[in-house]
């Protein structure tokens, strides 16, 4: 095994998750490459030093530019606000350094396109952080679908619903400004990525996107909300199957409502991230009296479960998803082979979102461009 120097940009919610994952991934998966926590950059030199001390990095960078340029930083993990993703990734690619970037890929479709172009020019490993699709349960669902376990797929329903803005009187925050911070920029990418992973490309869609609660209370009075609270779309997949996707940050009672239901000619599957260690599988076989959904608890027989625990039903958690991502990133660097999802897969999500906004404005079905 050998070490690789990692530079992490961002030390907040996701920055901490990636720092923990990078510290643990070698022990969990016995990776050939072992991350060395070389340098971390926050929004200020002071926050960088605080994160360095808290997360165990060797050095604190005065800014992300210094981190990317440092010769001991051999790969870059971006966990900073979406508006910074493009500049950081382009700078790292220009130096030939692999990049892992949190979702969404950029703050706009233009950003995502430019980042894919930079990755293509650099020809170095690149990945996007869609962590929820990496749970052992959803990995198992992908396996079932590939095997044709529920026959030909006829319908898909997916949602990513939370309630952190359900209260109309919740104060105005940074989440109320800018496309990337709205529901379509923040929550929708995860379920769109899931739909593409499980069902394949979306050919066309019809969307409605709304701001339900505006204005919101500010320190000096009401402030307008200039992004969306929830959105929905009817879709037609390239396979011919129909689908419906819904995204909301005002779904009262939902805490991590990343959920989907898939109907096929020979069965059906249900999953809900709030019960992330189980899937519900229905097969059309056996007598009517005993036919029904079966709850399957994840265990060592399912993808990426055993490295965490030898006991079925004991379960994995949110942090484990990030550790699996770290393993995949290291594997891409080690082998030089792309590991899904790459920047190009992140662009596919951005194109669906851009098409949804166009559909909502024009009030009609729109075709999703291919990339």
**Reported pTM:** 0.95
Average pLDDT on 48-55 reads 97
Over residues 69-117, the pLDDT tens digits come to 999 999 999 999 999 999 999 999 999 999 999 999 999 999 999 999 9
Confidence of residue 297 (pLDDT cuts 50, 70, 90): very high
pLDDT of res. 245: 98
Measured at the CA of 227, the angle between CA 222 and CA 228, to 5 degrees, comes to 110
**Which residues are CB-contacts of 123 (< 8 A; sequence separation ≥ 6)?**
none
Give the largest Cα separation in the chain, rounded: 67
pLDDT of res. 286: 85
Average pLDDT on 7-28 reads 97
Over residues 246-263, the pLDDT tens digits come to 999 999 999 999 999 999
pLDDT of res. 180: 86
* Surface-to-core class of residue 123, CB atoms within 10 Å of its CB (0-12 exposed, 13-18 middle, 19+ buried): exposed
Q: Which domains does the chain have, with CATH numbers?
A: 2-131 (3.40.50.720), 136-315+348-362 (3.30.360.10)
Residue with tokens 């170095």: 124
Over residues 332-368, the pLDDT tens digits come to 999 999 999 999 999 999 999 999 999 999 999 999 9
Average pLDDT on 211-234 reads 96
Confidence of residue 1 (pLDDT cuts 50, 70, 90): low
d(C-alpha 132, C-alpha 103), whole Å:
11
Output the six-digit token pair for 45: 């030199």
Paired with 7 in beta bridges are: 39, 76
Cα distances from 26 to residues 126, 260, 274, 324, 327, in angstroms, run 20, 32, 28, 11, 8
Pairing of strands 75-78, 99-102: parallel
pLDDT averaged over every residue in the chain? 96
């Amino acid at each position: 095994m050998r070490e690789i120097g990692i530079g992490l940009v961002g030390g907040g919610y996701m920055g901490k998750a990636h720092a923990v994952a990078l510290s643990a991934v070698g022990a969990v998966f016995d990776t050939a490459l072992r991350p060395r926590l070389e340098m971390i950059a926050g929004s200020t030199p002071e926050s960088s030093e605080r994160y360095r001390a808290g997360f165990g990095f060797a050095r604190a960078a005065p800014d992300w530019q210094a981190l990317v340029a440092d010769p001991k930083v051999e790969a870059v993990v971006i966990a900073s606000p979406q508006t910074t993703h493009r500049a950081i990734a382009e700078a790292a690619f220009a130096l030939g350094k692999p990049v892992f970037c949190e979702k969404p890929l950029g703050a706009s479709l233009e950003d995502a396109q430019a980042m894919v172009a930079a990755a293509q020019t650099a020809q170095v490993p690149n990945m996007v952080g869609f962590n929820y699709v990496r749970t052992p349960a959803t990995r198992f669902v992908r396996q079932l679908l590939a095997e044709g376990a529920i026959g030909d797929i006829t319908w898909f329903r997916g949602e990513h619903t939370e309630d952190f803005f359900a209260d109309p009187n919740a104060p105005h925050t940074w989440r109320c400004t800018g496309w990337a911070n709205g529901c379509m920029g923040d929550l929708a990418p995860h379920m769109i990525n899931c739909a593409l992973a499980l069902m394949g490309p979306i050919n066309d869609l019809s969307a409605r996107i709304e701001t339900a609660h505006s204005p919101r209370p500010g320190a000096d009075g009401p402030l307008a909300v200039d992004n969306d609270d929830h959105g929905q779309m009817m879709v037609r997949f390239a396979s011919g199957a129909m689908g419906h996707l819904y995204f909301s940050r005002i779904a009262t009672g939902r805490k991590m409502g990343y959920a989907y239901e898939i109907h096929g000619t020979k069965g059906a599957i249900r999953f809900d991230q709030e019960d992330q260690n189980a899937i519900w599988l229905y097969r059309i076989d056996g007598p009517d009296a005993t036919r029904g959904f079966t709850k399957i608890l994840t265990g060592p027989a399912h993808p990426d479960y055993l490295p965490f625990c030898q006991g079925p039903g004991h379960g994995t958690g949110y942090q484990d998803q990030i550790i699996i991502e770290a393993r995949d990133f290291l594997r891409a660097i080690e082998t030089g082979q792309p590991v899904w999802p790459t920047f190009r897969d992140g662009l596919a999500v951005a194109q669906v979102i851009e098409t949804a906004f166009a559909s909502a404005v024009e009030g009609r079905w729109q075709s999703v461009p291919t990339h």
